[in-house]
Amino acid sequence: MKIGGLQPVTASDFPGRMAAIVFTQGCNFHCPFCHNGSLLPMDADARIAEHDVWSFLQKRQKLLDGVVISGGEPSLQSDLAGFCRQVKDMGFAVKLDTNGSRPGVIKALLDGNYVDFIAMDIKAPLSRLPELTGTVSHAPQIRLSISLIAASGVDHLFRTTDVKPLLSSEDHRSIKELVPPGSLHVVQPFVAKNAMAASLRK
């Protein structure tokens, strides 16, 4: 795993659990409203050695009960499943944050029972994905990931960042239509301060 950051504790990122956050390096999206720009480059060196993460978690086994794997985009990491398995073997629950672009990886994690919670970002209506993710359309993959997660029986939520300069009320309605009945959809506020696009910073 190429690890770009570690947050020692959070009470708000893993529902019902005190957790640490492991940030993986590299993302296949380049959203103008991204606030983790330093994690985007795939070729950047890891900022934290994996063995240091394991050492940290060993010391926190009685203090934390969850680990959030975020990014960047964790599903790009070739050894993600093994990492999740080892985290679970240490007694922690695992939450995955993902953009849903790699449903095959999500399916493998679900099939292996490697995750206990998934939060998937729905960045934009499918028709606007290239514009708002800075890459080619991943619409079929996004649809499949939504279906896999919603049908998995694993605790989950879908979330959208309310970037008012970029997303209209109609866009939000289109996004909500992608969310299956029974699945939670959270609209979270946009924090402009660290946005990738200078035009969005205020």
| CATH number of residue 151's parent domain | 3.20.20.70
Is 190 within 8 Å of 33 (Cβ atoms)? yes
Domain span holding position 100: 3-200
The answer on pLDDT for 155 being more than 90 is yes
Beta strands in the chain (DSSP E): 3-10, 19-24, 66-70, 93-98, 117-121, 155-162, 185-189
The answer on pLDDT for 193 being more than 90 is no
* 5: phi then psi, degrees, rounded to nearest 5: -175, 160
Q: How confident is the model at residue 181 (pLDDT cuts 50, 70, 90)?
A: very high
* 145: phi then psi, degrees, rounded to nearest 5: -60, -40
- In which residue are the tokens 């944050």 written? 97
Rounded mean pLDDT, 106-115: 98
Structural domain count, the chain:
1
The answer on pLDDT for 187 being more than 90 is yes
123: left (phi over 0), alpha (psi -120 to 50) or beta: alpha
Is 114 within 8 Å of 93 (Cβ atoms)? no
Using alpha carbons, select from 26, 24, 35 the residue that is nearest to residue 197: 35
Strand 3-10 with 19-24, pairing: antiparallel
pTM of the model: 0.96
